[in-house]
Amino acid sequence: MKQSEIKELSVAELQEKLSEVKKSYSDLKLAHAISPLENPIQLRSVRRSVARIATELTKRDSQ
Angle made by CA atoms 46, 55, 58, in degrees to the nearest 5: 140
* Number of domains observed in the structure of the chain: 1
Question: Which domain, by its residues, includes 16?
Answer: 3-62
Count of Cβ atoms closer than 10 Å to residue 46 Cβ: 19
**Averaged pLDDT of the chain:** 95
Low-confidence ranges of the chain (pLDDT < 70): none
Note the pLDDT tens digit of each residue in 11-21. Answer: 999 999 999 99
